[in-house]
Structure 1
Amino acid sequence: MDLRVAIAPLIKGDIQNDPETLKKFSRDTSIFERKPSLIVSPKDADDVAALVRFAAEAKARGENISLTARAAGTDMSGGPLTDSVVVSFTKYMNAMHEVGPDFAIAEPGIYYRDFEKLTIAKNGSILPPYPASREMCALGGMIADNAGGELTLRYGKMDAYVQELDVVLADGSQATFHALSAPDLETKKAEQTLEGEIYRGVDELLTKNRDVIAAARPNVTKNSAGYALWNVIDPERGTFDLTKLIVGSQGTLGIITKARVSLVKTKPHHAMLVIFLSDMGKLPEIVRRVREFGPESFESYDDHTFKLAARYGYEFLKHLNFKQTLSLALAFLPEVWALFTRRVPQLVLLAEFAEDTDEEAQSKAHKAQAALADLSVRTQFALGTMEKKYWKIRRESFALLRKHVHGLHAAPFIDDIVVHPDDYPRFLPELNALLSQYDLMHTIAGHIGDANFHIIPLVNLSNPAHRKAIMELTPKIYELVAKYKGSITGEHGDGIIRTPFLPMMYSPKILELFAETKRIFDPQNIFNPGKKVGGTLADIERWMMRPVPLPPAVKQA
């Protein structure tokens, strides 16, 4: 079947299958490469519905077809990669429909940078769970991965902000999911539609397995692994909310076409305390003491990231005017000097305090600094340009690695683990012992305040030894995370890289319930198969990139 010819008359949007476009959509920011067969850019929800109906009919005839939704393609797990049809939203379905006093309604293809400009201009509000890729990511991906970021410590993750989702279901019908009261739930369950079947099926699944689901809920600050079955029913509010399943599902249960999300006005005045740590044994106590003063965010990056910032600080200056460039260039001089004198800290911690006044923010920062006095750690306050410098390093550390470590690939495969801060004294030595078993340079950045570590090894994916190390090290790290009852992904999602390791977090019974949830929503397995449910280790090996080694003459150039 010629998919392009068959689909073209059904939709108003664009269809592409030229080699350049297929190559572009074969990648996200993960270690995988998977060439799709077709890229469809729908113009509206009706286009998406028509596409899903076509896929359902083709699937019923025995055709091998699936649909994978894609926003900006910044996912680090292989979530938006497929060898079938990509449904791409950034070209057309990128509109902001409304900005209210405390909410916004937008399409999944809107870039977060544009979303935030509009909400700030309207009423000074933002959507707090933006990730470090805030300048590149889009709303659909933030919802699909249940995103979190630097503000999650105070404001929570994406699932706390999604109020309503318009979703195209597996038969091409369109539904609007939001929190329902008990009477409204019964009304929905009575409908003789796929939406009604979904409500009946999920309600029955949750009712029959209430205790086992409650016991399986990860007891960590954040989690994006599996389906959040434990969040659907809110006993305190008396609601039943299927958005809690769609958020974080990576497009495996339906295709989002519009979202209503809540907004908040963050505190306007900031003060940053920077902590330079050379003795990792002090980290748990530092985190405990600083958190007592309620920082808005508490971030970190390691010595390798520090060195990259010192060497390639000019990358941060490209898009600034002369005055901004000069100011920020001067701000990077301490990093350059530390590199020159070999006084690079092992870890840089950024504790930012945000309050209603400058005095309140600075008071908290000073109190946090005083609380660390007996630990003999170097600290400094960062305001204005200095504060911007540290945020640029933290937010763009992964991009720096991808661009400048020649011959090696920044490989996110153990990139999003979460443990409990109280377990630092035992967990961190064991983590470092595992990492030291492999000759892989790695960087560590992340959300130190809620124990979410982003470990990015640097590998040569054309080297069989490095590929073997990925397959060996990944389960060892996740076994360690499971030992401390953590999560294998706090905000990046399962995708290709983590779906096979979900059994390390969840019991066979919970995995059965995940599979049943998928069947309830998507009985023909049309939506993004192999993610969340059904992924294998063979998928990781099959789709891992295989770069062609450069000839010696090119390497030396």
Structure 2
Amino acid sequence: MRIADDLLHIAKGEVLGDSWSRQIYSVDASHYEIQPAAVVHPVDEHVVEEACKYSFAKKVPITARGAGTGLLGQSLSDGILLDFTKHMNRIVEIEDNHVVVQPGIVKAVLDKELKKRNKFLPPDPASSNYCTIGGMIADNSSGVHCLGYGNTIDFLEAVDVVYAEGEPGFASVDRYDDRMEKLFKILSPNVDVIKSGYPKVSKNSCGYRLDAVMSRRFMPQKVFAASEGTLGIVTSAKLRILDIPTCRCMIVLGFEDLIDAVSQVPAVLEFSPVALEMLDHTVVSHDRTSDTGCLLFVEFAGESRKIEDRLKACREELAGKCSVVEYASDEQSMVNIWRARKGALNDIMKLTVGSRKPIGLIEDTVVRPELLADHTANLLQTYRQNNLDYVMYGHVGDGNIHTRPLLDLGSGEEVDLIQRIAGIVFGQVIRSGGTITGEHGDGLARVGYIEMMYGSRITGLFSAVKKLFDPSFTMNPGKKVPVQ
């Protein structure tokens, strides 16, 4: 309790150190369980600064936490947890083309306020009703509509942060602190290595996104997207927002099986949908009585009724290859359809077969869409060879497959099995130019595979960046870069 007692002088009573509270915060949406030493509800950035100073001086880990919806243990720590959802959850500013928010605001709450102004922030993960903007930045979250609009990193324009030593920092394209100057000096001699060393796919949250930092120009704020709180703690963020499109429509297409469905993804993409999602029968058939069938959800959006023409042309292109299960062009019908798709993760996490349940490790791979059918066939073959039940769905327009085998983590043999499968699947994905982490983050589960993904030169840069921002490895240690 010494850490909690010390922190009481910093956080003005907003500290939890009792065993029940620490147990509550020992879990997230993953299968990991790590009990923190204390939990702080910071009321402002000054409390964050003081907590970081204490962490740095005492060499105690410190980790930011939002709603705890991370799937791979990103926000779990045996040190100090900073929960931003209670106090630092406000919208600071809404303008015509951007919003400034604190990290603890829930995405759905922000969506509601933006909608009043006919605006939206496109990244919309399945956990939008619960997840926070801080968590979305930490993981570079995406969601259903990232195909048409981009990922969280694409909308991040500026951040205020607190560094490991408790010093405040700031970063945007036009204005950044001295530490960002040092970041530029580390990365600029390695631009060619960075450019050639990253996967050529539309979404990626593996490692640090140095390619986004050194893209068209130096964009230092983007180093915090997908960083999982290992470089600094974001206390406010400025994000670009868009006008809600005037016209939207969608269709749900039914296919005989999964391979038939994903084989048609490149054809559907020719008509420029803003969303293209897949639900396999392993998710749809909750009673497990059906062993065939697959759905594609396709949405079109724009500023004119020409989107209806695109939908019609898409449907004609696929005539004879699938059936039209649903069509919608009014908002409520589309909300209902997307609610069913977004509910897939909740349904999956509740699924059990005896002592086995869906386990994440290979659940977030991305390949180019034209390679998706081969990648899916490889996954199915791996499951058949190992006699495994599984679930499968995903953002197939981006080539992003979410799949989980059903395993018993109480069995050492099955733990070894998922690790062997990961080695095989990740190797295939990497050789195809894809990524092992599309949007869920690396967390505790995939940190050991990051060097396999990038090789020693890029991961050497990751280590250099980590040491620049967090020389004592107190900021969410064990994520992104192995503890040294």
Q: Does residue 87 in structure 1 map to residue 35 in structure 2?
A: no
Match of 2:235? 257
Match of 1:460? 408
Q: Does residue 125 in structure 1 map to residue 125 in structure 2?
A: no
Cα displacement (A) at 1:20: 2.2
Could you report, residue by residue, the CA deviation over 1:23-78 in whole angstroms, capped at 9, with x for unpaired residues?
2211111121111111111110000000111111112xxxxx11011011101111
Match of 2:449? 501
Match of 1:134? 128
Match of 1:72? 67
Quick one: structure 1 residues 431 and 381, their matched pair in 2 at CA, closer, same or farther if it must change by over 3 Å? same
Quick one: structure 1 residues 257 and 205, their matched pair in 2 at CA, closer, same or farther if it must change by over 3 Å? same
Distance of 2:474 and 2:196 partners within structure 1: 30
Cα displacement (A) at 1:281: 4.2
Quick one: structure 1 residues 223 and 377, their matched pair in 2 at CA, closer, same or farther if it must change by over 3 Å? same
Distance of 2:402 and 2:19 partners within structure 1: 33
**Equivalent of 2:155 in 156, 161, 173:** 161
Which structure 1 residue ranges, 5 or more long, are not aligned?
A: 60-64, 189-194, 312-338, 537-557
Alpha carbons 1:72, 1:90 under 8 Å: kept:
yes
TM, length-normalised to structure 2: 0.94
SS at match of 1:94: coil
Q: Does residue 442 in structure 1 map to residue 405 in structure 2?
A: no
Alpha carbons 1:97, 1:106 under 8 Å: kept:
yes
SS at match of 2:471: coil
**Equivalent of 2:423 in 461, 475, 488:** 475
**Equivalent of 1:213 in 189, 194, 197:** 194
SS at match of 1:92: coil
Alpha carbons 1:499, 1:535 under 8 Å: kept:
no
Quick one: structure 1 residues 524 and 283, their matched pair in 2 at CA, closer, same or farther if it must change by over 3 Å? same
SS at match of 2:242: coil
Match of 1:16? 16
Quick one: structure 1 residues 79 and 134, their matched pair in 2 at CA, closer, same or farther if it must change by over 3 Å? same
SS at match of 2:410: coil
Distance of 2:471 and 2:203 partners within structure 1: 29
The AA in structure 1 aligned to 2:310 is K
Q: Does residue 401 in structure 1 map to residue 348 in structure 2?
A: yes
Cα displacement (A) at 1:101: 1.2
Match of 2:48? 48
SS at match of 2:346: helix
Match of 1:411? 359
Distance of 1:163 and 1:92 partners within structure 2: 23
SS at match of 2:130: coil
Could you report, residue by residue, the CA deviation over 1:126-160 in whole angstroms, capped at 9, with x for unpaired residues?
11012111111111000000111111111001111
The AA in structure 2 aligned to 1:246 is F
Cα displacement (A) at 1:280: 4.0
Distance of 2:223 and 2:14 partners within structure 1: 30
Match of 2:210? 229
Quick one: structure 1 residues 99 and 445, their matched pair in 2 at CA, closer, same or farther if it must change by over 3 Å? same
SS at match of 1:271: strand
Cα displacement (A) at 1:410: 2.9
SS at match of 1:199: helix
SS at match of 2:392: strand
Distance of 1:397 and 1:512 partners within structure 2: 38
Q: What count of residue pairs does the alignment treat as equivalent?
A: 481
Cα displacement (A) at 1:215: 1.1
CA RMSD of aligned residues (A): 2.0
Match of 1:370? 316
SS at match of 1:252: coil
Matched ranges for 1:309-320 at <5 A: none
Match of 2:95? 100
Cα displacement (A) at 1:285: 4.4
Match of 1:177? 171
Cα displacement (A) at 1:284: 4.8
Matched ranges for 1:296-315 at <5 A: 296-308=274-286
The AA in structure 1 aligned to 2:109 is D
More off after superposition, 262-271 vs 77-86? 262-271
Quick one: structure 1 residues 367 and 380, their matched pair in 2 at CA, closer, same or farther if it must change by over 3 Å? farther
Distance of 1:416 and 1:261 partners within structure 2: 25
Quick one: structure 1 residues 471 and 72, their matched pair in 2 at CA, closer, same or farther if it must change by over 3 Å? same
Alpha carbons 1:34, 1:83 under 8 Å: kept:
yes
SS at match of 2:404: strand
Distance of 2:67 and 2:238 partners within structure 1: 19
Matched ranges for 1:304-343 at <5 A: 304-308=282-286
The AA in structure 1 aligned to 2:184 is D
Match of 2:327? 382
Q: Does residue 204 in structure 1 map to residue 151 in structure 2?
A: no
The AA in structure 1 aligned to 2:220 is L
SS at match of 2:137: helix
Quick one: structure 1 residues 387 and 284, their matched pair in 2 at CA, closer, same or farther if it must change by over 3 Å? same
Cα displacement (A) at 1:456: 2.0
Match of 1:244? 222
Alpha carbons 1:398, 1:410 under 8 Å: kept:
no
Cα displacement (A) at 1:468: 2.6
Alpha carbons 1:276, 1:345 under 8 Å: kept:
no
Q: Does residue 32 in structure 1 map to residue 35 in structure 2?
A: no
Percent of aligned pairs with the same amino acid:
30
SS at match of 2:372: helix
Distance of 1:433 and 1:263 partners within structure 2: 42
The AA in structure 2 aligned to 1:152 is C
SS at match of 1:209: helix
Matched ranges for 1:340-355 at <5 A: 345-355=292-302
The AA in structure 2 aligned to 1:10 is I
Cα displacement (A) at 1:91: 1.1
Q: Which of the pair has more CA radius of gyration?
A: 1
TM, length-normalised to structure 1: 0.82
Alpha carbons 1:496, 1:535 under 8 Å: kept:
no
Greater helix share, 1 or 2? 1
